[in-house]
């Protein structure tokens, strides 16, 4: 397995006595011209990496908040090609890895080989494709061989042990441990088996395990970083940016390292 910059960033954060924090934003929500400002703000706020959502008409893994953000982005003419062109104009100012979260259809429309080449050219650190199962990932995986772009897998609470073993064997960047059964969105509680699930993943994986889906409050961030190598926070960040609530974003980021190793 090739070593990737995305993994290095998370490991470096953990070695400093910190847990990784990866916020999710929807590219084009508020206009494509806001993308640079949001990325630079999050970078300055101390995040480990940034997940950049690509708007899509049928986002099967997304809850209401991210669906609405995607609809707002699409209404402003945001496409994968436009996002890639926009990032190209400022990518040298971005020092944290960017992880594109997209569905497979936009990649097919773009062209897999061209997409992979463009990701390398503008310094993308990783790709997450929720509707691309392991068994069908070879075309994209092969296009990324020899590059510094990680194909990040998702592992669900219901994934059986043999499937988890297959996924962790080829995983890159980090293991995206889905913390709920269902779509993204704010949750009040998590499954009682989650802690053991994350422990099992960490035991099997040679790369960091991060928890994501449904994590939306500082308290939830604190509880998740106690049992994982970091967290991904989506809906709460998207909602906060939509309402220009910068304080909430900063509080969530700070919570990822509150009393972590005390």
98-147: pLDDT as tens digits: 999 999 999 999 999 999 999 999 999 999 999 999 999 999 999 999 99
Question: Would you state the pLDDT for residue 126?
Answer: 98
Q: Quick check: is 51 catalytic?
A: yes
- Out of 18, 51, 118, 148, which one is annotated catalytic? 51
- Out of 18, 62, 172, 229, which one is annotated catalytic? 62
Global pTM exceeds 0.85: yes
Closest to 99 (Cα-Cα) out of 195, 202, 20, 181: 20
Question: Would you state the pLDDT for residue 184?
Answer: 55
Question: Would you state the pLDDT for residue 191?
Answer: 67
Count Cβ neighbours within 10 Å for each residue of 157-193 and write b for 16 or more, e otherwise: bebeeeebeebbeebbbbbbbbbbeebbbbbeebeee
Angle 235-242/246-255 helices, nearest 10 degrees?
150
Question: Would you state the pLDDT for residue 257?
Answer: 86
What are the structural domains, with CATH classification, of the chain?
5-14+22-255 (3.20.20.70)
Question: Would you state the pLDDT for residue 261?
Answer: 44
Q: What is the block-wise mean pLDDT of the chain (262 residues), using blocks of 10 residues? A: 88 95 98 98 98 92 90 97 98 98 97 98 97 96 97 93 95 94 56 86 96 93 95 96 97 83 42
Question: Would you state the pLDDT for residue 214?
Answer: 86
């Amino acid at each position: 397995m090739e070593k990737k910059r995305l993994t290095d960033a998370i490991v470096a954060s953990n070695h400093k006595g910190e847990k990784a924090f990866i916020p999710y934003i929807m590219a084009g929500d508020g206009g494509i011209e806001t993308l640079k400002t949001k990325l630079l703000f999050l970078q300055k706020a101390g995040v480990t990496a940034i997940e950049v959502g690509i708007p899509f008409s049928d986002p099967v893994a997304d809850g209401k908040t991210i669906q609405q953000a995607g609809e707002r982005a699409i209404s402003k003419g945001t496409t994968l090609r436009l996002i890639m062109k926009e990032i190209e104009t400022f990518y040298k100012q971005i020092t944290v890895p960017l992880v594109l979260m997209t569905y497979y259809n936009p990649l097919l429309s773009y062209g897999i080989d061209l997409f992979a080449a463009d990701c390398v050219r503008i310094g993308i650190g990783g790709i997450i494709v929720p509707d691309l199962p392991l068994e069908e990932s070879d075309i994209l995986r092969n296009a990324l061989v020899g590059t510094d772009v990680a194909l990040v897998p998702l592992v669900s609470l219901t994934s059986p042990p043999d499937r988890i073993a297959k996924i962790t064997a080829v995983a890159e960047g980090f293991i995206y441990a889905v913390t709920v059964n269902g779509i993204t969105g704010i949750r009040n509680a998590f499954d009682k088996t989650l802690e053991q699930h994350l422990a099992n993943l960490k035991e099997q994986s040679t790369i960091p395990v991060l928890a994501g889906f449904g994590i939306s409050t500082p308290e939830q961030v604190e509880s998740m970083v106690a049992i994982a190598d970091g967290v991904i926070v989506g809906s709460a960040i998207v909602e906060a940016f939509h309402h220009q609530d910068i304080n909430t974003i900063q509080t969530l980021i700070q919570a990822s390292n509150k009393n972590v190793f005390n």
